[in-house]
Structures are given as structure tokens and as C-alpha cells.
Amino acid sequence: MNRTPLRASIRQVAEAAGVSPMTVSNVLRGRTDLVVEKTRERVLQAARNLNYVPVRTAAQNRHIRTNAIGVVFLHSHRPDGPVGYPTFLGMYSRARELDHDLTIFLRSEPDWVKPGTEAQFLDRRCDGFIFVGSNRPEITEKLFENKVPVVECYSVAPSPGAARVLSDNADGMRQAVMHLAQLGHERIAHIAGPQVNMEARERLSGFRAAMQERFGADYHDYVVLANTWGRIMRFDNAYGDIDEITRPAIEAILSIGVTAVVCANDLLALALWRLAEERGLRVPQDLSIIGVDNIMQSQYQGLSSISTPFEQIGQAAVDAIMAIEKGVSTAEASRVLPVELIQRSSVSVPFQR
């Protein structure tokens, strides 16, 4: 991989624009009250032409440690959501224990930056970055070029140069299938999450492998794909409407006549439970249901679930940043954490209909 450092300095931008370094600094900090528009445009164009990024480059051969770790929440992993929030709590507890700060990145890239330079990640505010979700490869590559540690949480296939921290999706599916089989269930289905999501794909693969292991030639592939993860986000059991993308997948499962369903996550499982009861089915007497993640709604509802160790994942992500800083490889710093089946009232032996 090309490790040539970024070369442009603020002084070079100033020389190209025919202004002072202080004027360049004012422009890039958005101090439009101190610079006329024509000068501002000249400075911005010079910054773009020189591929300027406000970062101490490897050529300067020094980096002042900040004891700060950048945190970026991507896609559906919101910092106030059922996955993002406990993951952040884990980061918080470990960072505090290690006397480090956490910096949550919310701002978009400045409009004066040439696309692909990823300036907001390269200004040396942070010693490393944790991305909650799969990161864009170009960001990781740029950080890797500048020797900035990167960790991706919940990324089955992390970008080259990044460590990964996630739960054991395949073993979670195995625990669910084996538990249902031990209770006497044979017609076991799976509602899979959207296959563009790598975790959903890994859970589907794990389900099929477990069914093949347990039932062999008698294995029936009762799998229905859902194009969303479900949309039930309230904590008071007054769940919102089942979205119209998820509903057909659930209705298809109910029409098969299976006795148990393992869902790709708890939101799908709770949606299945609700729609099953609307159809007159009793849970667990007529249908046993297991989800994944063990979110708060599942505990209220009595849903059996594969518990994802969100807080431990957050803690392990901070540990991985520290390990990489000490020279440990990203492969060695990566962690796949064990999961556990939490048994509740949504599962029983199959009843005769």
C-alpha cells in the first residue's frame, strides 16, 4: 500500500494564494468576517489544488498524543439506539478507566476539501478511531496511511487496515437451533435480515449450518428474507406499526406451518410475535420465537434471545485501539466475543395442534 505522506502545509497554501498563513487559517476556520470573498475563494482553490489536509504528516516525524479516541456512529447504529447506546457505555467505562477522552464525530467534511482526503479524521484531534458499523474503505485506508489506529465494531469484513470487534453470530444461531431441537422442534424457520448487511448474512449462514448439523438429510430450509431489520423502537410495549417491508416476510413464515422461528434480531422477533397473535396464534404454545441482541423490549416482552455483549464490545474496541498503538497487528487486536442464549417465556416444547 502507498504510504507517501500528505505534503502540503498551510504555508504552501498561503504562498499559492498570495496571502499570509493567518489568512489561510481564518478562511479554513470559517472566519468569513475577517476575509473578503475573493480572497476566500482564492485560498479555498489553493487548498483544493494542493490537496491540503490540516494534519501533522509523517514527514514531520512527530505526533503529540491527545489521549482522545474518536467515535463515529455509522448507518443505523445511532448513539441513542438499542445497539449504539450500550456499546458507547462500554467505550466510556474503559476509556475512563484508562484516562482517555472520547470524541464523537458529527460534523461533515469541510466543503473546501478535495473528496477522498478525509480531513475531519486527519487533524490529529484523536489518537485512533472506533467506527460503530462498517466503515468506508477509503477512510480506513487514509487513516492507515497516516498510521492512525482504526477499529470497526460489528463489522464482519472490516476494511483493510482496521481491527474488528463483534459478537459470534454463527454460534448464536447454533445455540438457538440446538435449544429448539432439544425441546422437540423440527420445523424451525429463520427470518433473515437484509443480505446487504454482513451480520445478517453471517447469521443466516450460521442458522443453515446448525440446521444441517442437527438434522442432516432431514433438514428443511425454511428461510424467508426480510429487507429491513424491523422498526419497533419504543420501550413501553406499545410498539409502532410493523413496516410494510417486514410484514410480507413475517406473513410468509406464518403460512409455512413451522413450530419455531429464529429471527435475525429482536425487532423482527417482536414483530413476528405481534403479527402471530393478531392471526390467533399463541406464543409459545403454537409458535416458539427466539431473537438476537437481547434488547430492553425483549426483556419486557419475555422474548428468548441471543444476548449480544454490547458493552463488552465497546470495551474491547478501546482495548484494541490501545493494542494497535503498542504495535500489535490488527488481526491480533481483533476480537469475536461469545454470546449466550437467554431463555424466557417465548419458547416451549411444540404443542399438538
Q: Which of 105-114, 261-270, 271-280, 312-321 has the highest mean pLDDT?
A: 312-321
211: containing domain: 169-309
Is 343 within a domain? no
pLDDT, tens digit (0-9, with 9 covering 90-100), for 89-116: 999 999 999 999 998 887 555 555 555 5
Q: Are residues 160 and 248 in the same domain?
A: no
Q: Are residues 195 and 324 in the same domain?
A: no
Q: What is the mean pLDDT of residues 21-38?
A: 79
Residue 122: strand, helix, or coil:
coil
Q: Which of 27, 34, 3, 31 lies closest to 13, judged by CA?
A: 27
Q: What is the mean pLDDT of residues 13-27?
A: 84
**Of 94-108, 171-185, 266-280, the least confident:** 94-108
Q: Assign 4 a pLDDT band (cuts: 50, 70, 90).
A: very low
Q: Are residues 305 and 283 in the same domain?
A: yes
Is 116 within a domain? yes
Q: What is the mean pLDDT of residues 151-178?
A: 94
Is 24 within a domain? yes
Q: Is the dihedral of CA 228, 233, 236, 238 positive or negative?
A: negative
- The domain spanning residue 198 has which CATH number? 3.40.50.2300
Is 57 within a domain? no
Number of domains in the chain: 3
pLDDT of residue 54: 62
pTM recorded for the entire structure: 0.77
Q: What is the mean pLDDT of residues 270-279?
A: 92
Q: What is the mean pLDDT of residues 280-303?
A: 94
Whether the per-residue pLDDT at 237 is higher than 60: the answer is no
Residue located via cell numbers 483493510: 160
Q: Are residues 141 and 37 in the same domain?
A: no
Q: Which of 62-66, 67-71, 106-110, 135-139 has the highest mean pLDDT?
A: 67-71
Q: Where does a domain end: 291, 309, 327? A: 309
Give one DSSP letter per residue of 123-142, joined into a string. SSS-SEEEEESPPPHHHHHH
pLDDT of residue 120: 63
Q: Are residues 159 and 281 in the same domain?
A: no
Is 263 within a domain? yes
pLDDT, tens digit (0-9, with 9 covering 90-100), for 300-352: 999 999 999 999 999 999 999 999 999 999 999 999 999 999 999 999 999 86
Is 145 within a domain? yes
Q: Are residues 255 and 325 in the same domain?
A: no
pLDDT of residue 243: 63
pLDDT of residue 58: 39
Average pLDDT over the chain reads: 84
pLDDT of residue 55: 54
| Percent of the chain clearing pLDDT 90 (strictly above) | 48
Q: Are residues 85 and 160 in the same domain?
A: yes
Is 352 within a domain? no
Whether the per-residue pLDDT at 119 is higher than 90: the answer is no
What count of other Cβ atoms lies within 10 Å of the Cβ of residue 279?
Answer: 13
Q: Are residues 81 and 152 in the same domain?
A: yes
Q: Are residues 140 and 196 in the same domain?
A: no
Q: What is the mean pLDDT of residues 284-310?
A: 95
Q: Are residues 154 and 278 in the same domain?
A: no
Is 58 within a domain? no
- 261, 274, 278, 287 from 353: Cα distances, Å: 17, 20, 18, 11
pLDDT, tens digit (0-9, with 9 covering 90-100), for 188-219: 999 998 888 889 999 999 999 999 999 997 88
**H and E: helices and strands count for the chain:** 12, 12
Q: Are residues 159 and 111 in the same domain?
A: yes
Q: What are phi and psi of 46, to 5 degrees?
A: -65, -40
Q: Are residues 186 and 260 in the same domain?
A: yes
